[in-house]
Amino acid sequence: MEIMKILLGVEGIDYNCADANGHTPLMMAAGRSRYDAVAELLELEGMTVDSRDNERMTALAHAISNGHLNSFEALLKVDSISAEYTTSEAWGLTYLTLAAHPPSAPTSASRRQRSGCTRSHSSRTCRPILVV
């Protein structure tokens, strides 16, 4: 958290930036139970809370799908829940279906891939990959 606070103090830093998968720092914090980071990011003027990643998930959707209640409640104060919200057309998940799905919801395979893990066809274990 201290490193993030230092980085947020750097002039010109883009705290709404996104990685190759469209994940913003807010989405990453919301999806990984980093309530402290979510709260800090939400305090920033100009923070975009309704950005969507490549799977069309918002920070609120990441908090819901991972069951992170504190982040969900903090985001809910600044973002609204829309009955029309859905993730990518391939999955078509709503906020309610994201909440009802266990952490092994259809998006978990892509999460494993993004996190640098693979599964071999003969193994049920997740092996980390060194990303350089």
CATH class of the structural domain 2-101: mainly alpha
DSSP 84-131: T----TTT---HHHHHHS-TTSTTHHHHHHHTTEE--TT--S-EE---
pTM of this structure: 0.72
52-97 per-position pLDDT tens digit: 999 999 999 999 999 999 999 999 888 766 667 888 777 788 888 8
Residue ranges per structural domain of the chain: 2-101
7-61 per-position pLDDT tens digit: 999 999 999 999 999 999 999 999 998 999 999 999 999 999 989 999 999 999 9
